[in-house]
Amino acid sequence: MTPDLAVRATGKTADPLARILVAGVGNIFLRDDGFGPEVARRLAADAGPDPRGMLAVDYGIRGMHLAYDLLAGVDLLVLVDTVPPDDPGAAVPGSIRVLRVRPEDLDGNTSLDPHGMDPAAVLGRLRSLGGELPLTYVVGCVPADVSDGIGLSAPVAAAVPGAVEAVVELIAQHDASVPRPVPG
């Protein structure tokens, strides 16, 4: 992470050797769409100083900010957002899905709205902005209610701790796969 990104997110400078970004995305004014920001806030509050340089940031609907922060260089990106169910006929609000995002999953023709947040558009436009898609996962939750209003529905609120655990597990897997320099 650049020191600029680290300071905006945490008030401190992150270790430049470990660049892990957890991006909570969604609109807190559309009830369950605020799931991503809530998970990011919880991770930021619970993590304290993170020796791996993990930053948990509530991007809300600020897609351009996420795009520019990704251009600074990130080794692992974990997006936290609402997602549709695997099977719409068997939708269970509050269920968590972990998805891997690869470059071939993205439609490069998606337009990037500087005033909105479409994660696929942000990630799909990285190359045209001069960046590359880092190792990327989505930790998603099936919403129950995305109508106007503030506050998560009961099943989605109950899913927040499980999403935090899923993010922590992805980071642990990443940490295990990346050799770190030995001090001294």
Residue 32 sits in a domain whose CATH number is 3.40.50.1450
- Please state the rounded mean pLDDT for residues 63-67: 83
Is 116 part of any domain?
Answer: yes
DSSP class of residue 32 equals G
Q: Which domain holds residue 7?
A: 3-177
Q: How many domains does the chain have?
A: 1
Q: pTM of whole model > 0.85?
A: no
The reply to whether 70 falls in a domain is: yes
Where do runs of H (alpha helix) occur along the chain? 3-10, 35-47, 63-71, 119-124, 154-177
Question: Is 184 within the bounds of a domain?
Answer: no
- Residue 58 located in a structural domain: yes
Mean pLDDT of 123-137: 84
Q: Tell me, rounded to whole angstroms, the distance of Cα 137 from its chain centroid.
A: 8
- Residue 101 gets the label, from left (phi > 0), alpha (psi -120 to 50) or beta, of beta
Q: Do 147 and 25 form a contact (C-beta atoms < 8 A)?
A: no
**For residue 135, pLDDT beyond 80:** yes
